[in-house]
Structure 1
Amino acid sequence: MSNLSSKLIERAATQPDAPAVLWDDGALSWRELADLSLRMSTRMRERGIGPGDHVALMCSNRPAYLVIWFALANIGAVTVSVNTGLVGDGLRYSLTQSSARALFIEKDLMEERRSDLDALTTSLDIVAFDGDEQIFSEARRCAPDTQFDGASHTPLSIIYTSGTTGLPKGVLNSHEAFLASGRWMSRALDIVPADRIMVFLPLFHTNPQMYAVMSALETGCALVLRPKFSVSRFFDDARRFDCTLFTYVGTVLAMLTSRLQEPDRDHKLTRCVGGGCPPEVWQAMQERFGVNPHELYGMTEVGGWVTGNTTADYRFGSCGLPRPDVEVAIVDDSDMPLPAGRAGEIVVRPKAPNVLLTGYWNKPEASWEAARNFWFHTGDSGSMDEDGYLYFHGRMKEIIRRGGENISPFEIETALLNHPEIEDAAVVGVPDPIFGQEIKAVVVTRAGFRPDTIRSFLTGRVAAFMLPRYVQTVGQIPRTETQKIQRRALQEDSTGVIDLEGARADA
């Protein structure tokens, strides 16, 4: 049966000496990556990890992440990808709601969150590691494990995505959802073994996992791991590693085009793939840098992506055509199909088995609600033209999308309400030319409240990427008769808004 492990072993057999992963300190061939992963699989079995177990992974962009990830896949375990920015209740929620029995975590991250994890040490096997060499050496002490023979529908991954009326939901995807993403992505972009994909977005995200790692596994091209995105080093890194493409969120491209005004074509980059690229940035990437953005539409729940601009079918400003294995439609509030040019909700259903989410982990009601009338309802607004190209208009859901992160207002609001001087709170996203959206906290306060204390109060209670940029004090939070926050009214009201951050430093 086809699964990640069988695909990795097949790649190692067909291209054993070709580079699989490159980083500042070294490189791994496909044979070496497969060998380390199978040996690490044995080591994990020695720790008592077995098929079906949920194992959390909290790790930065380094080859150890991939070795552990493929090792868990070979056991038939489920990797719970943990955002390295999570702290406090948010971190503990991900670990407990996912039913994780173990956590693999870098020691530096462990030291920073030791107090957050103390309460979980009796129920969670925490494995802290120094870095790549420790993982490699532990693996090399073991014999290679046998290849996993599980079916393609076997659960593989839980990645948390933020909701708007509650805490984040864990999206459970199968081996086939990942393999299908890489299969169609590599064909869409004509990826070949000689390509090198630069990966600077965090590996715990769907974007690099499904767009980059799966494309490399499908084609045998190389991954170039960077610790983080940097405007000043971007093209130097691309030249140093001979990168030919990269994955993006809209923030990345907006930062490149706004801060690098001079043309730079002295590199091998030809294309990039992701979502959130406005037309003016799209044009600047092409004209200034000679790079074609391949805008797509996707989310974790739909197997990473469902429509995209391919090399053969490329339409400026659109999110492209649907993949061959899915059906995409635009519907009204009654789930009736809408004609070309009319905006409505984007809905998706599969033409092949196991390519969309298996469900939301331990949230059957949410899974059923999203699958109304046998379509997965994305909660996003879009339209299609006469030729079937999708255009994304915005998020019907209330999540805030800041720099590629899906942020739940509910989580920040809950933390704000613990402030002794805040009586009521609402959090909304407001437009931002770099990050797509920024976070505005709207608060009802007691006398003597100082708005500039909000960020320091939230630090350690929510992740750093959830800290509000703006704060606004009001007399009352506008709500409907059913007590739902009227977020649109708050987004449109800029009276007395205070910028807590000011000018940003260059990346």
Structure 2
Amino acid sequence: MTPRTISELLREHGDREFLVTDGGRYTFAEVHDLARRFSTLLREKGIQKGDHVAILAGNSAAYVVAWFGSALAGCVTATLNNMLLAEGMRYTIDQSESRILICDRAWIDTSHKHLDKRQKDLPLVAIESEAAFFDMLRTYAPGEETMLPITEPLAILYTSGTTGLPKGVMNSQATYYRSGAQAVRLLELTPDDNVMVVLPMFHVNPQMMGTMSCLVSGATMVLRPRFSASAFFEDAERFGATGCTFVGTILSILVNRHRGDQKNHKMRFCFGGGAPREVWKVVEDRFGIMVYEAYGMTELGGWTSCNSRTVRRFGSCGKVRDDIELIVVNEHDEPVPPGVNGEIIGRPRVPNAVLSGYWNKPDKMVESCSNLWFHSGDLGSYDEDGFLYYHGRIKELIRRGGENISPIEIESSLIQMDGIADCAIAGVPDPVMDEEIKAVVVRKDDISPEDIIAYLSERFPRYMLPRYLEFVDSIPKTANEKVRRELIKTIEPPVIDLGAKSIDRGKPVSAGQEAAG
């Protein structure tokens, strides 16, 4: 598989429809033409080959054109989280060493004022609207393409940074191509497919799993402004979507929101990671959509393993891509047998299948690698047939009374309870148990702590039942729908101490004691 450039792929598919938004429908050729005109704009703004261009904007065709246009000008795009505020926003702009800001009107009106003086002096290109942006670009002549070598970074994507300052992951154009081509093979994509993308474009999922799979296959990308549970199936039907990408809790939210069958659509697949078993089954049974459950990281080619239509195992993350190698190891980097949990580590089998490094943080790259393997920080296991299973982030596991407890496992069950709109689980320090379990719940009906404990007691052993409970209006999450657990660990009022209530949580016992009892 020889990697191909964005320009080559845009030219190949020409007059086929590439992008569909609320603002219009655009062919591959139209996007290519507008991207070349954007490259001219950058040059006239003094931006040179090798410079970094920051995009801070919501989902639109203008975002894709600015990203591709920056590549055609030989620039590296820093696709920054436009939802960050204050210090987080200023940090990523500075750390990426961006020389120009491409921003939509919503970001300019709400966030530009929070920049420091130096950042406010950076050149800025405004996306007033999709149509206005393209009308403006058409006043520029299409520029000559001066792309960086395909092995050089195409974009810098920042990790969520929930446990420290974000790191800028550098992925080359070749890495993007390999991810897209592997997805095309996996999903059996054709030019007749319409892939709906609802996640923010600064995230690896819509970039590699969505945009690149359509760019490689000639399929159409239906780009929505944001994820909307209420409008999801209406949009799928209206745009003739044949598939979508997902991440985090999106499928859980859809299952919770739509209690009946939803099959008035053409969707045959959903491609992503984080589908709990209960949700996976409901999506396939009630929605009629096959779940392509994957495991992936921004650093490891976007996604590394996935179930396919023909090779799949319920509850697993499928088989590993043929251009990436993954093993599960103990604390000494020694492979563990099937069925034993350990850290997932990976490396490429071919050139440019994974990240080329962290921007301006070579020390962090060194920290992440040992024995020539990239260490994911994720807990996983293989079964006897080589299917990979994901068990959560190692640092997110709750250590209670000698037991390791996955917060995702409890969340995946609790979200299915009637009366609950959203939930999250976290560990909080405890002098006796090491950690105790806290549940944070968004109610849509009047349910009590006793109702919640009764529900969980039917599904989990006593040592996995929450000690603390808090009712909130919303769960703090990253823009990628990942729970920000560091923000829900407080136990001050109005947090309810279930241990002080007349609720039988049982004594803090180990799994072995529970089974014996």
TM bin (shorter chain): 0.7 to 0.9
Correspondence for 1:356: 354
Residue segments in structure 1 that go unaligned for 5+ positions in a row: 401-427, 444-451, 475-489, 498-507
SS at match of 1:207: helix
| Matched-pair contact (CA < 8 Å) for 1:429–1:440 | no
**Hey, what does 1:432 align to over in structure 2?**
411
Cα drift, residue 12 of structure 1: 3.8
- In 1, the alpha carbon distance for the partners of 2:120 and 2:263 equals 55
State the alpha-carbon separation in 1 of the partners of residues 331 and 273 from structure 2: 25
Distance in 1, Cα, partners of 2:63 & 2:28: 15
Evaluate the alpha carbon distance shift between residue 69 and residue 87 of structure 1 in structure 2; reply closer, same or farther with a 3 A threshold.
same
Alignment partner of 1:268 is 2:258: no
> Cα deviation per residue 1:263-300 (whole Å; 9 max; x = unaligned)?
12121001001000011111101110110110000011
CA contact (8 A) 1:309 1:318 kept: yes
Q: Residue type of the partner of 1:313?
A: V
Distance in structure 2 (CA, Å) of the matches to 1:149 and 1:365: 28
Task: Show the counterpart of 2:377.
Answer: 379
SS at match of 1:184: helix
Aligned counterparts of 2:35 and 2:214: Cα–Cα separation in 1: 16
Q: 1:399 to 1:228 in 2, by over 3 A?
A: farther
Structure 1 residue 147 displacement after superposition: 2.8
Q: Which structure has the higher relative contact order (CA within 8 Å, separation 6+)?
A: 1
Distance in 2 between residues matched to 1:149 and 1:122, nearest whole Å: 28
Rounded Cα–Cα distance in structure 2 between residues aligned with 1:285 and 1:430: 18
1:334–1:210 distance in 2 versus 1, CA, 3 Å = same
Q: Which amino acid aligns with 2:491?
A: Q
Which residue is 1:420 aligned to?
none
**Structure 2 residue identity aligned to 1:74:** L
Distance 1:440 1:80, change over 3 A: farther
What is the distance in 2 between the residues matched to 1:436 and 1:37? 42
Match among 185, 188, 192 for residue 183 of structure 2: 185
TM-score (norm 2): 0.78
| Farther-moved stretch of structure 1 (169-178 vs 127-136) | 127-136
SS in 2 for 1:235: helix
Judging changes above 3 Å, is the alpha-carbon distance between structure 1 residues 78 and 310 closer, same or farther for their aligned structure 2 residues? same
Mapping for residues 47-446 of structure 1, pairs under 5 Å: 47-121=45-119, 124-163=122-161, 166-398=164-396, 432-433=411-412, 434=415, 437=424
SS of 1:296's partner is strand
CA contact (8 A) 1:210 1:304 kept: yes
Deviations 1:181-215, CA, capped at 9 Å, x for gaps: 00101100101100001111111111110100000
Summarize the Cα distance change of 1:56–1:262 in structure 2 as closer, same or farther, 3 Å threshold: same
1:227 to 1:440, Cα distance in 2 relative to 1, 3 A: farther
Q: Which moved more, 1:279-288 or 1:224-233?
A: 224-233
Partner of residue 28 from structure 1, selected from 22, 26, 41: 26
Q: Is this contact kept in 2: 1:441–1:468, CA < 8 A?
A: no
Give 1:180 deviation, angstroms: 0.6
Residue identity matched to 1:226 = R
Q: How many residues align?
A: 438
SS at match of 2:144: coil
CA separation of 1:55/1:440 partners in 2, compared to 1, >3 Å: closer, same or farther?
Answer: farther
Distance verdict in 2 for CA 1:63–1:471, change over 3 Å: same
- Identity score, percent: 41
Partner of residue 473, structure 1: 492
TM-superposed CA distance for 1:439, in Å, is 6.8
Which residue of structure 2 lines up, in the alignment, with residue 407 of structure 1? none
- Give the conservation status (yes or no) of the 8 Å contact 2:71–2:147: no
With normalisation by structure 1, the TM-score equals 0.80
How far the C-alpha of 1:317 sits from its partner, in A, is 0.8
CA distance 1:91–1:122, change in 2 (3 Å) = closer
8 Å contact from structure 1 (residues 101, 123) kept in 2: no
Equivalent residues of 1:350, 1:356 under 8 A apart: yes
The answer as to whether partners of 1:472 and 1:496 remain within 8 angstroms in 2 is: no
- Aligned partner of 2:467 in structure 1 is none
Which residue matches 1:487?
A: none
Contact 1:430 1:439 in 2 (8 A): no
Residue pair 2:196, 2:222 contacting (<8 A) in 1 also: yes
The letter for the 2-side match of 1:114 is H
Shift in Å, 1:125: 2.2
Is the alpha carbon distance of 1:337 and 1:194 closer, same or farther for their aligned partners in structure 2, counting shifts above 3 Å? same
User: Quick one: distance in 2 between partners of 1:76 and 1:84?
Assistant: 23
C-alpha contact (below 8 Å) 1:56/1:103 kept by paired residues: yes
> For 2:133, what is the secondary structure of its paired residue?
helix
Please, which runs of 5 or more residues in structure 2 have no aligned partner?
399-406, 416-421, 431-469, 502-517
SS in 2 for 1:51: coil
1:396-428: per-residue Cα shift (whole Å, max 9, x none)? Answer: 13499xxxxxxxxxxxxxxxxxxxxxxxxxxx9
Determine the structure 2 residue equivalent to 1:417.
none
1:172 deviates by 1.1
Change (3 A) 1:100 1:438: farther
SS at match of 2:281: helix
Classify 1:122/1:13 alpha carbon distance in 2 versus 1 (closer, same or farther; 3 Å): closer
Q: Which amino acid aligns with 2:376?
A: T
Cα 1:496–1:3, aligned 2, differ >3 Å: closer, same or farther? farther
CA distance in 1, matches of 2:105, 2:298: 28
Q: Whole-Å Cα distance in 1 between the matches of residues 86 and 425 of structure 2?
A: 22
Q: What value does the CA root-mean-square deviation take over the aligned residues?
A: 3.1
**C-alpha separation in 2, matches of 1:393 and 1:469:** 21
1 CA distance for matches of 2:358 and 2:100?
20
